[in-house]
Structures are given as structure tokens and as C-alpha cells.
Amino acid sequence: MEKTSIHGMWSSRTAFILAATGSAVGLGNIWRFPYLASDNGGGAFVLVYLMCIALVGLPILIAEILIGRHGRRSPITTLAALTRETGAAKGWISIGWIGIVAGILILSFYSVVGGWTLHYSWLYLMQAFGGAHITDPAATFSDLLANPWELAGWHAVFMGLTVGVVGLGVEKGLERAVRFLMPALLLTLLALVAYGATTGHLGKAASFLFEPDFSKVNAGMMMSAMGQAFFSLSLGMCTMMTYGAYLPKDISIPKTGAIVALADTAIALLAGLAIFPIVIGFGIDPHGGGPGLIFTSLPLAFDVMTGGVIYGLMFFGLLFVAAWTSSISLLEPATAFLVERRGIARKRGSLMVAGLCWLIGLATVFSFNIWSHVRMLDRDLMGLIELVANDIMLPLGGLLIALFAGWALKETVLREQLAGISPAVFTTWRWVVRIVAPLLVLMVLLNVVL
């Protein structure tokens, strides 16, 4: 197969790690992980989540990057070429389709929540210039949710900013910006954890997050944890495959994969340790926080901390940037497909996909107000889209990716792509993607269906 991709290549290992971490670290870590932990009883959820990352996530991350680097094209073209090369059934190409549809569904609600981060950045910016304080965060948040116009407006701004980057191609500017904005996000989180330590509630937060209560383990919670592992690592929808296609040959996939997985997990855990001391300290019940958790809890602390406005602005501003670098990677697969297959210009293609995502996103917007009464499978519309895309389609896509790498690809290809790792690690990885990971995903998916 080709040595390089026609779309260009990452300039270095660091460039790839930054891009892949930029995709992985986002709302999933800071918005979604803490509230899922809150809704699912804390420690038990975290434990199942960590097991999913180690046993399923990392091995599949390696498989995705490897398939991408071997194919060197956008996912559907890569899979088509690899099925020809190996004589495998054409059906494997459906992995690419699952990815495109999942990406569109995820971006539809991701952008709505991305809009919340913009709204809150705006509120803190105004406050820094003497505007009103957020004194009752629960009311501020429910006022925002009650207003479909405002939600749809911020959703449009967020989507516009995403198209701006994807339409122009990911420029050096963004790569450079991310180089210092991601560390800045990490520092802000660390500062919040340190603040939590001064309040004396860090210990309680840690025991909430790390002391598992096994009575909380059930099929639904395992599916949430598995779906979250895929969502947070950007797996199962060919994002990492696409990024792998631009990875130079001499860079170790297992090592870079492990760095990305570790960074992603560390940020999620730090987010938990930043948020729960505040939640507990202000007497909020840490259970059942729901999607509003960070928006209703953190502003309480920002209101009393010294320099709280600046922290608020930094936190929500950087969270927006983290969401932005992820949403780009959500829009990319469908856009690349339109460009490759339909000969549509990149700008127009990204605009068309983003327009569709914006429209589907209105279902999420309305699920908080005019359609809040609509419920299916005990969930509102946003919850339903999350269930289908994150908890079902991503694990299913990941399952197929693991099987494809484990069974369809030739051993020589695998050895060539994973050159440099020890034979024991190679064999372990291979049997994990052949059997262990697919079985675990299947068990979790079936458990919920049956």
C-alpha cells in the first residue's frame, strides 16, 4: 500500500498525538464523564469505564489507527481497498457507513452542548466587564434550556465555527493554537482540583469516584460505561482511522495509542476530581446530576473563589476549544466522503453535512423545551440520540473494526504496522481484538437488548 496519503501527513509524532488527543479530549471528558458517573452511582461506573478503556478501547484504538495507516485513504475508500486486498467480504465497508451516520448523529447534539459552553464563556466575559453575576446557576441553566431560540442560535454559532475549520482544511493555525490551549485546559483543571483540596472535600469526592458500590452494576450502566469509553476515545466511527491514514510509517502505533488513551482518561478523572468537591461542598446531591451537572455546579464555586470570573472564563472558554477540536473530527468523515465520492468541493460539502447536523440537532434543542414531553424508551429525544449513536452504533462499529483487524487483515500487514513491539504484546493484542474485545462488546450490547 501507499507510503503516504494524498491528503498530506502529520509533520511529527507530536502533531499526531496532539490531533488525536484533540479529538479524544472534549465534552466527553469534562461534561459527559462526570455526569454519567454521577447518574450511575460513582465508583462502580468509573471502575467499569476504566476496564472498558483498557480491555476494549485501547486495543481497538490501535486497530483503527493501524487500518488507517495501511489504507492511507478516507475510511470507506480504505475499507474498500482492504477488502479487495484481502479478499474479504464487501460487507466490511459498512464500518465506514456506520461511522458516517454515527458522526452525524453525535455532532447533532455535540454542537448543542458546544453552544452551551459558548453561552457560558459569553456570560463570564460579560461579567469580567462588569456584567451580571451568575448567582443562581440552576436558574441560569434552566432559563437557557427553556429558550429554544437561544439554544438554536448558539448551536448555529458552534456549528459555524466547526465548518470554518473543516471547510478550510485543518490549518497550521489550529494546530499551533491547540498546542498551548490544551495544556492551558489541563492547568485550569489542576487549579480547580487544588481549589477542591482547599475546601476539604477532595477526599469525599475521591471516595465517591473511586469506591465502587457493586450493587450499582447493571446492564444499563455497563452499556453507558462502554458507550462512554468509545465516545471519549473517539472510537467506532473511523475518526482515528482517518487520523491514522496521515501517520508516518516510522511512528509506533501502540505507544502513541497508549499516550492518547492515558491522556484522555487522565483528563476525565481530573474533571471528576475538579467537579465533585464543588458539588459536595455546596451541598448538591452528587447522584443524578444529569447533563446540567457542570453548568449548575461550577458557577457556584466561581462566584466565591478569588478570581472566580477569570476561572469561569478560562474554564468554559477552554472547554469550548476542547469541544471544537473534537467536533472537527466528527464532521470530517462525512465531508471527506462527499468530497471523494460526489466530487463536491470541501467547503460546500462540510456546509451541507453541518446543515444537516444542525437540523437534526433541533431535536436535542427541543427536547429541553417544546418537546420535553416526548419520551421513548424512558428517555427524552437527546437521550435517545445518545443511546443510538454513542451506546449502540459506536460499540458496534468498534466491534466490526476489531474483527476486521483481527481476522481479515493478513498477519504480515499487522506485523509490519506494529513493528517493534514484543512478540508477547503482539499476540496478546491480536487475541484481544479477535476474541476478547468483540465478546465483551457483544455481551454488553446483548445484555441490554435481551
The DSSP call for residue 129 is T
Q: Shortest approach of ligand PHE to residue 145 CB, angstroms?
A: 20
Nearer to ligand PHE, 284 or 394 (CB): 394
Report d(CA 115, CA 120) in Å as an integer: 9
d(CA 94, CA 400): 9
Residue with cell 476474541: 435
Q: Which among 153-161, 169-177, 213-221, 228-236 is the span making contact with ligand PHE, rule CB under 6 A?
A: 228-236
- Asked if 121 is part of the footprint of ligand PHE (rule: CB under 6 A), the reply reads no
Among 21, 23, 162, 350, binds ligand PHE (CB under 6 A): 23
Near ligand PHE in 73-112, by CB under 6 A: 106
**Which region among 20-28, 309-317, 360-368, 410-418 touches ligand PHE (by CB under 6 A)?**
20-28
Give CA separation, 132 vs 100, 182, 318, 410, in Å: 42, 29, 21, 62
Considering the complex, what minimum distance in angstroms separates the CB of residue 228 from ligand PHE? 9
**Environment class of 388 (CB within 10 Å of its CB; exposed 0-12, middle 13-18, buried 19+):** middle
How far apart, in whole angstroms, are the C-alpha atoms of residue 219 and residue 252? 36
Binding pattern for the stretch 233-272 against ligand PHE, x by CB under 6 A and - elsewhere: -x--x-x---------------------------------
Grid cell locating 334: 462525512
Stretch that binds ligand PHE, among 82-90, 231-239, 280-288, 412-420 (CB under 6 A): 231-239
User: Applying CB under 6 A, does 232 fall inside the site for ligand PHE?
Assistant: yes
CA distance 382 to 300: 26
Cell of 389: 449513536
Q: At its nearest, how many Å lie between ligand PHE and the CB of residue 226?
A: 14
Q: Any alpha helices (H) in 9-93, and if so which ranges? A: 13-24, 27, 33-39, 43-52, 58-71, 75-86
Min dist. Cβ of residue 24 to ligand PHE (A): 5
Residue 29 as a binder of ligand PHE (CB under 6 A): the answer is: yes
Residue 376 has φ and ψ, to the nearest 5°, of -135, 140
As a whole number of angstroms, the distance between CA 186 and CA 192 comes to: 10
Query: Which residues, 6+ apart, have CB-to-CB distance to 202 below 8 Å?
Result: 193, 196, 273, 277
Selected from 117, 162, 224, 326, the binder of ligand PHE by CB under 6 A is 326
27 binds ligand PHE, rule: CB under 6 A: yes
Q: How far apart are CB 114 and ligand PHE at their closest, in Å?
A: 10
Tell me how far, at minimum, the Cβ of 419 lies from ligand PHE, in Å: 27
- Cell triple for 129: 466587564
Is residue 331 part of the contact set for ligand PHE (CB under 6 A)?
no
Which single residue is written with the C-alpha cell 467480504?
A: 89
Which residue stretch of 182-190, 232-240, 408-416, 426-434 sits at the interface with ligand PHE (rule: CB under 6 A)? 232-240
* In the complex, least distance from residue 187 CB atom to ligand PHE, rounded to whole angstroms: 19
> CA angle at residue 311 from 305 to 316, to 5 degrees?
135
330 touching ligand PHE, by CB under 6 A: yes
Q: Are 274 and 189 a contacting pair, CB within 8 Å?
A: yes
The residue range among 27-35, 148-156, 169-177, 403-411 that interacts with ligand PHE, by the rule CB under 6 A, is 27-35
Interaction between residue 26 and ligand PHE (CB under 6 A): yes
- Look up residue 376 and give its DSSP letter: B
Q: Does residue 231 interact with ligand PHE by CB under 6 A?
A: yes
Nearer to ligand PHE, 30 or 338 (CB): 30
Place of cell 467536533: 327
CB of 420 to ligand PHE, least distance (A): 27
* Three-point CA angle 100, 102, 107, nearest 5°: 95
Q: How far is the CB of 64 from ligand PHE (least distance, A)?
A: 11
Which spans of this chain sit near ligand PHE (rule: CB under 6 A)?
23-24, 26-29, 106, 231-232, 234, 237, 239, 326, 329-330
